[in-house]
Amino acid sequence: MISREQAWELLSSKGQEQHMLHHALETEAVMRGLARRLGQNEEVWGLAGLLHDLDFHETKDLPEEHGLRAATWLANALPEEALTAIRAHNGERNGVAPSTTFDHALRCAETVTGLVSAAALIRPTKLEGLGAKSLKKKMKDKAFAAAVNREIIRECETIGVGLDDFLNDAVASVATVADQVNLK
């Protein structure tokens, strides 16, 4: 299996824009938090979070291939369950429907980062004091972070994590990388 350092080097070498690198770090952090909560392999889940958009620079105009290319590139680097989750995180466009806890976890983890980041960026205290109550209010405002799919965030309940707990955990997880993603 690829090491965390090798995964970061690979991701960094693919010409990702800065905001995509931030998204990758945030998703990795949320996935590690979910793995701890659910008793899963934190390293495998974290690496899937870090690398899930590895192909984005090449597939942003080919959404039907997003996730599929990344899984192909990573075939010898990650376990099959991680590759399946990477494929399924974009299931609406590439036809790979999510079915496992891991699949749904990656989908809701990578999606919630957009909501958390957007909410933090408009607050003078950034992530400090941000919690489920505020985020749920933002979720009701369709104009706020309009590209964030609220239904995918709610997939947290599919994996046995209530929305309040998921949102609070997501904020706490993103806070662990706040200095690296300009949210401090």
Residue 10 in any domain: the answer is no
155 assigned to some structural domain? yes
* Residue 84: alpha-carbon gap to chain centroid: 15
The rounded radius of gyration (Å) of the Cα atoms in the chain is 15
Give the pTM: 0.97
For the segment 160-168, the average pLDDT, to the nearest whole number, is 98
Residue 3 forms part of a structural domain: no
pLDDT of residue 153: 98
Tell me if 7 is assigned to some domain: no
Indicate which CATH number applies to the domain containing 152.
1.10.3210
Q: What average pLDDT does range 2-26 have in this prediction? A: 96
Burial code (b: 16+ CB inside 10 Å, e: under 16) for 61-86 equals eeeebbbbbbbebbeebbeebbbbbb
Q: Is residue 102 part of a domain?
A: yes
Cα–Cα distance for residue pair 169/45, rounded to 1 Å: 15
32 domain-assigned: yes
Task: Note the pLDDT tens digit of each residue in 72-92.
Answer: 999 999 999 999 999 999 999
pLDDT at position 56 is 96
Cβ atoms 83, 51 nearer than 8 A: no
State the pLDDT at residue 116: 98
Tell whether 183 is covered by a domain: no
Range of the domain at 138: 15-178
* pLDDT tens profile 37-76: 999 999 999 999 999 999 999 999 999 999 999 999 999 9
> How many whole angstroms separate alpha carbon 86 and alpha carbon 95?
12
Check if the beta carbon of residue 82 is closer than 8 Å to that of residue 105: no
- Give me the mean pLDDT over the 161-174 stretch: 98
Per-residue pLDDT reduced to its tens digit, 28-39: 999 999 999 999
Number of domains composing the chain: 1
Domain-located, residue 44: yes
